[in-house]
Structure 1
C-alpha cells in the first residue's frame, strides 16, 4: 500500500509543460442534467469556472511526457495505464511525423489526464460542468430541445461527429470540439453509475456517496449522452481508448 502511494505521489509531482491550452470563462447557471442525483430530477446549479477552449493536443501532451519521463509508455506502471497507453506514438516519448500534432491526444488513461491537468495548475472538469457546456450550440446555451441538434450528437466519438473537423464552429461560450470524434475524460467519471469510486483518489468518501446516488437518469431520451455515460462508467482509471481524450478546467477564485 505504501509503495503504491509512493508511485502515485511521484507521478503526480510532474513538471509543467511549456504551454497550456487557453481557457474560456464559463458563467454560473442552472440546467437539468441527464444524470439524476438522489431523489431529484437532475436539476443542477453549476458555479462559474473556466474550461480549455480545445481538447489537449498530441503536441501539448508530448511536451508533458518529455518533461516528465515517468509518463513515457515504457516507464509508466501498469497500475496507472494499460497496454494501449500512447500506443499510436512511434516512440515512447514522441508521437512521430505521421501523427497530426494538433489532433486531440488519445490513448491516455484517467491517471495520465489528471496528472497533465495538475501539472499546469488545473484539473479535469466535473461531469456536470462538461455536460453544462456541451449542451450549448453556436447560438444557445442549451440546445438539447432541438431534435436536429440531438440527432447530430448521435455521431459523437466518430469521424462523422458535428465537431469532428478542424475549424468547427465553437459553441456560444467559445468552446470547441465537445461533440467531436474524441470523447473526453471527466474528473468524477466513476461516480456516474455504480456505488464505489474506482480511482482511490483523495475525494474517495465524497465520490462514493455521489456514486451511490447516480443510479438512474433524469432524461432517458438523450441517447447521445447516455452512451457517453455508459462508456465512461465501464472504464477503469488505467484504461485507454483510441477515441478518448481530455481537456482541462479551472475553478473560479
Structure 2
C-alpha cells in the first residue's frame, strides 16, 4: 500500500515507481482531453471493411490479389512508386476476426491515449506509428503482403505507457475502459515476430498465438471496470499466478 502525498489516503499501487499521488489526486493534476478521433478511426476501418465485402471481397478469407487491389502493403509495389500503400494498408483488414480484434484494441487504447495527448497529437502518433510499422515490416520481409492497424495501435499503447499515467487515473475522470488490453496481439502478431511494430496481419496466415504485452498489468484497478460489471458483482480476472478461485 502507498500513501498519497497530497491527501494522505492509502491506495493500492501496482508499481513502486508509479508516483506519489492516489488516482483521485492525480486526476486533478493532469488535463485530460475529449475523445474525438478514436471513434472516427474505428468507424473508418469498419466502413472500409464493409465496402470491401460489398464489392465481392471474401468476408473471412480475402485473397492476396483482393487486398493488393484495395491498397495492401507489398514491397515490390510500395518501393516502386506506390508509397501511399504505407498509409492505406493501415485501414484494411484480412477478415472479420482481424477487424474485430483491431477495432476493439483501437477503441480501448486509442481512447486512453487520445485523452492524454489530445486529438491532434494522437492522430500524428497513430499515423506515424502505423507508417513506421509498415516500413519496418518492409525492411524485415519486403515480399510480405501486410494489412492492419497493428503498428499504429502499438504506437498508441507505447505512448500511453510512456506517459506514466495509470488506467485508474483516466477512468476516475469518467472514462470507462474494458478490463484488459492484452488481447490485441493474439490476432495481429504471429509467433516469432521480432518487434510489435512489425506485426501487421500477415498473408499467408502463419500460426498465431496469444502474446501478452509484458508491461500491461494482469489485474486492472476496479475503477476501470464497466459499471454494469461492478453492480452485478463481477470480479477482476486473476493473474496467472493467482491460482483457482
Which protein has the bigger strand share? 1
Per the normalisation by structure 2, the TM-score is: 0.29
Structure of greater relative contact order (alpha carbons < 8 Å, 6+ residues apart)? 1
